[in-house]
Chains A and B, each alone.
Chain A
């Protein structure tokens, strides 16, 4: 319940998961079908957002498969050079989705995959966050998942705040929500 309002959790559950309908369902215009029947036939292969796939799977209405981001190719790339795989492009919620799917699909290797990937990439994020200082390494950032980006920002922002304090200057500032550019006079 604590996650109910969690923005990232909601967006993560919007990721598409390949599924096969084990039953048919009436009156659902889920997919662009040319006919007007609005019926999903048993055996239809579709991509469903995770929030729908999970519930239907729990009621044995669909069987689900792992999305592309967990396919063999990605796994091999991760094993070869985890730090430089573009995970954001594959799935910005790689870890979250992986954890959610893990309990459903029963693929025991996912857990190990996620952990090993994060282990290596964590170290890279740490090193980049320290060395890049203020000049961000833009190329590297585009490879990161949402969680990794937040980790990077956590490291960066506290360092920036510290440097700002050391520079000195005004202690009181205009509230950040008020437009920054606009000043009452120029």
Chain B
């Protein structure tokens, strides 16, 4: 996971996540005829004009770039579905809507390479942008609950890119709390009697999701 720019980085780089996302399957409609491709990762095709088939995203993008197919955007990338998701995200302060694990990467790849295949692209793009913003805001408020009692965080339905962005911060914060909260440092009785800034205490594990 070390990258050229920062060999000590412990997180994935965004480009590395994008690479992983390229293995997700997507539907294409070829406009050419081609035998089945026998690849290490599986067999794809055969390809016939106007007959939809499933291929990994990297292959879809490579074919699309050469004008050999159109890409069918995944179901969740429709204005209707995304509007629902956005409303649900806004309705709940704590929970996250289930979205594809790589929705950020997939949508960017499709916006970059298959613009003409996405209906209502401007609407779709701004909806995804809004969803992303709402979710990030929620993650932020969720992280505020990290405290000395936090051994782990449970973040349900968070996606690859979201986890990756908060990882360095969360790991460091948990470490800092862990060090300051070692049993030798804090006596339980001491804590109760002397606590200056009281916080709610929900036992050993805090959950971001309720």
Stretch at the interface among B9-17, B27-35, B80-88, B91-99: B9-17
**Docked-complex contact B173 and A158, CB < 8 angstroms:** no
**Docked-complex contact B180 and A161, CB < 8 angstroms:** no
Interface assignment of A123: CB less than 8 Å from any CB of chain B = yes
Interface assignment of A115: CB less than 8 Å from any CB of chain B = yes
Interface assignment of A46: CB less than 8 Å from any CB of chain B = no
User: Quick one: which of A78, A151, A164 has the most chain B CB within 10 A?
Assistant: A151
- Residues of A within 8 A of B (CB-CB), count: 44
How many angstroms from the CA of A175 to the CA of B3 in the assembled complex? 11
By secondary structure, the B interface counts as helix
Q: A82-B197, A111-B186 are in contact. Are A154 and B15 (CB under 8 A)?
A: no
- What distance in Å separates the Cβ of B74 from its nearest Cβ neighbour in chain A? 19
Could you list which residues of chain A lie within 8 angstroms of chain B, going by C-beta atoms? 78-79, 82, 95, 99, 102-103, 108-116, 118-120, 122-123, 126-127, 129-130, 147, 150-151, 154-155, 157-159, 161-162, 164-166, 168, 171-173, 175-176
Could you list which residues of chain B lie within 8 angstroms of chain A, going by C-beta atoms? 4-6, 11, 13-15, 18, 108, 112, 136, 140, 143-144, 146-148, 161, 164-169, 171-173, 176-177, 179-181, 184-187, 190-191, 194-197, 199
3 pairs of A and B residues whose beta carbons are closest in the complex: A165-B14, A111-B185, A154-B168
